């Protein structure tokens, strides 16, 4: 049963503690990278990858996300009255981006639990998961690259990046072997969450993009919560690996962890430098700092 990937789940129910105090009131997913909330980068990537239906898993204090993707009547009427047509198009463009549904995760019980909250909206078809704090700069959208692998190989696909050195301990790491036909593909036999550097089974670190078959929902339902009462997505995927083909895929592009202060700073510098309206001025400013 190979079906087209039409839906993408965006888990956005977490507390964003790494970015306190900014995230005390403002959802992490709404923090601006240059001038756009980080979740919008993911939504645009999903649409550019052929996704037709976005499902955002929200929680307490996250209503700004739904407001952002909705019409803003007062703002748009004011911009129209003032003749600010470019800004009006920007605002209208956001609300016209995609078909978006929302489901609430009543308590932040883990990433696996958040994905499970989308089960009824996804139904019995393969789907994508996009973690909004991972912002990816790529010529071909990362999710599109992954969907291509899914279409060719017919199994779940986990995006990975190669991490050299002890930094690997911050990630879930794949075990398995590189595919003989395509060095970007990794035939996955398992994974270890945040291993010690010396215990890491490979250099393939899992990042926040997944294409999964719906079987993962049943497996997540059977997963017993781990430490802190959380249901981890990794546990569901580990169970999936035992039953179905699962591939790692080293995507082409650069990923930034915008849910982390340092990652957000890196992304801000690189995205701003690439902007035609800001880049030249910003480059001069940075040069002038004489670091
Ligand atoms: P993170 O661990 O990066 O997010 O989860 P967090 O828990 O919000 O952040 P920190 O670590 O406290 O700073 C990855 C993604 O999973 C979502 C988060 O919103 C984030 O997009 N998530 C996490 C949920 O939707 N529900 C959860 O229970 C946990």
Q: Which one is predicted more confidently, 98 or 206? A: 206
From the CA of 29, give the closest atom in ligand 1.
21
Domain ranges within the chain, ordered by starting residue: 7-275
pLDDT at 229: 85
Pick the CATH number of 7-275 from 3.90.550.10, 3.30.70.260, 3.40.1550.10, 3.30.70.520: 3.90.550.10
CA neighbours closer than 13 Å in the CB half-sphere of residue 260: 9
Residue 102: its H or E element: strand 99-104
pLDDT at 55: 98
From the CA of 133, give the closest atom in ligand 1.
21
User: Which pTM value belongs to this model?
Assistant: 0.95
Render pLDDT for 261-290 as a digit per residue (tens, 0 to 9): 999 999 999 999 999 999 999 999 999 998
Q: Which residues line ligand 1 (CB under 6 A)?
A: 11-18, 28, 57, 105, 108-111, 113-114, 131-133, 259
Those residues whose C-beta lies under 8 Å from the C-beta of residue 20, and which sit 6 or more positions away, are: none
Render pLDDT for 172-230 as a digit per residue (tens, 0 to 9): 999 999 999 999 999 999 999 999 999 999 999 999 999 999 999 999 999 988 777 89
Distances in Å between the Cα of 190 and the Cα atoms of 20, 33, 50, 114, 148 are 34, 34, 29, 22, 22
Phi, psi of 244 (to 5 degrees): -135, 170
pLDDT at 97: 79
Q: Which residue minimizes the CA distance to atom 9 of ligand 1?
A: 16
């Amino acid at each position: 049963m190979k079906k087209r990937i039409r839906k993408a789940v965006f888990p956005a129910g977490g507390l964003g503690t790494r970015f306190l105090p900014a995230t005390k009131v403002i959802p992490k997913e709404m923090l601006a990278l240059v001038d756009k909330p980080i979740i919008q980068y993911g939504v645009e990537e999903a649409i550019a990858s052929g996704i037709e239906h976005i499902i955002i898993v929200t929680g307490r204090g996250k209503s700004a996300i739904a407001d952002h993707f909705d019409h803003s009547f007062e703002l748009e009427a004011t911009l129209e009255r003032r003749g600010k047509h470019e800004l009006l198009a920007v605002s209208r463009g956001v609300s016209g981006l995609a078909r978006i549904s929302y489901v609430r995760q009543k308590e932040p019980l883990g990433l696996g639990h958040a994905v499970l909250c989308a089960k009824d909206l996804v139904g019995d078809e393969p789907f994508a998961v996009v973690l909004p704090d991972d912002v990816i700069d790529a010529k071909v959208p990362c999710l599109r690259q992954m969907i291509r692998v899914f279409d060719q190989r017919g199994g779940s696909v986990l995006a990975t990046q190669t991490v050299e050195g002890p930094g690997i301990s911050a990630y879930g790491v794949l075990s398995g072997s590189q595919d003989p036909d395509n060095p970007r593909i990794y035939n996955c036999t398992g994974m270890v969450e945040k291993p010690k550097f010396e215990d890491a089974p490979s250099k393939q670190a899992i990042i926040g993009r997944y294409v999964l078959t719906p079987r993962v929902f049943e497996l997540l339902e059977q997963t017993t919560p781990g430490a802190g009462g959380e249901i981890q997505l990794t546990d569901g995927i580990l169970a999936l690996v035992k039953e179905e083909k699962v591939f790692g895929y080293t995507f082409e592009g650069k990923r930034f962890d915008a849910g982390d202060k340092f990652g957000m700073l890196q992304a801000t510098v690189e995205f701003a430098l690439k902007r035609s309206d800001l880049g030249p001025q910003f480059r001069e400013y940075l040069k002038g700092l004489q670091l």
